Amino acid sequence: MDIVLNDAETRVLGALMEKESTTPEYYPLSMNALIAACNQKSNRDPVMTLDEGAVRQALRNLEAQDLAGPANTNDSRVKKFEHRLAEAFNFTRPESAVLCELLLRGPQTPGELRSRAERMRPSAPGGRPQSPLFDSLDQVHSALQHLMKREPPLVIVLPRQPGTKEARYAQVLSGDVRTAAGRATAAPVVVIRADSHGGAPAGGQTVPIDRIARLEDEVTAIRQEIVRLNQQLADFRKQFE
């Protein structure tokens, strides 16, 4: 399977994978919830601002590759979306968690992946967390090796940077990242909008983060509140159906 995702498609796919694990009660995601997930500031590198047109175009492109698309749900009032990587690759949970973190945050060391992927573990009955997703770094390396041995490989190891002890790993669904591996840690916000004809985003425009951070926080909070209220309303209606 020859896959090369653009920035918007990478973020949409990673957000769908993440929310399936971290908030399964709200998954599949409505369009508003997916936009909020793509644009949230936590657990993202770089922070992005995708408008609805860019997200819809990314979903169309992902659906054409059988990687994501509309979900078949009993709720016909709100269209929802899901990823389809389980059908395409049949990942184990550790493999899925590692790939998700690489999609959302870019190249990382096994130590970073171990700590960051822990939020992907499912909850036990009663909301209690289950045992750790990775008991050791060896298990992280095992998941990475399985992803690297796929045909074609989904993960590569990057050349070790001067002065660093651990090698970093990167997903290659977005193409070969070796040339971009040395980008700065504090990345700017990336703004992606669909073009005026509804086509694929023409490219990312970098904006200094301090100029839009406050506005982005407000918009994200509003969107999350709308998603919460919509869910409460849907639950209330179900009582009378």
Fold classification of 7-122+133-194+205-238 (topology level)? Arc Repressor Mutant, subunit A (1.10.10)
CA distance 241 to 142: 48
pLDDT at 77: 82
**pLDDT, position 232:** 75
What pLDDT, on the 0 to 100 scale, is given for residue 184?
Answer: 39
Helix axes 209-238, 31-39, angle to 10 degrees: 150
Nearest to 94 by CA among 57, 155, 41, 139: 139
Query: What pLDDT, on a 0 to 100 scale, did the predictor assign at position 179?
Result: 47
pLDDT at 183: 43
- The pair of three-digit structure tokens given for residue 197, joined into one six-digit string: 């004809």
Distance, in Å, from the CA atom of 48 to the CA atom of 9, rounded to the nearest integer, reads 12
Largest CA distance in the chain: 63
Tens-digit pLDDT string for the chain (241 aa): 678 999 999 999 999 999 999 999 999 999 999 999 999 999 999 999 999 999 999 999 999 999 999 998 776 688 999 999 988 899 999 999 999 999 999 999 999 999 999 988 766 555 565 678 899 999 999 999 999 999 989 999 999 888 888 999 999 999 876 544 444 344 557 787 876 445 545 444 444 444 444 555 566 667 767 877 777 787 777 777 6
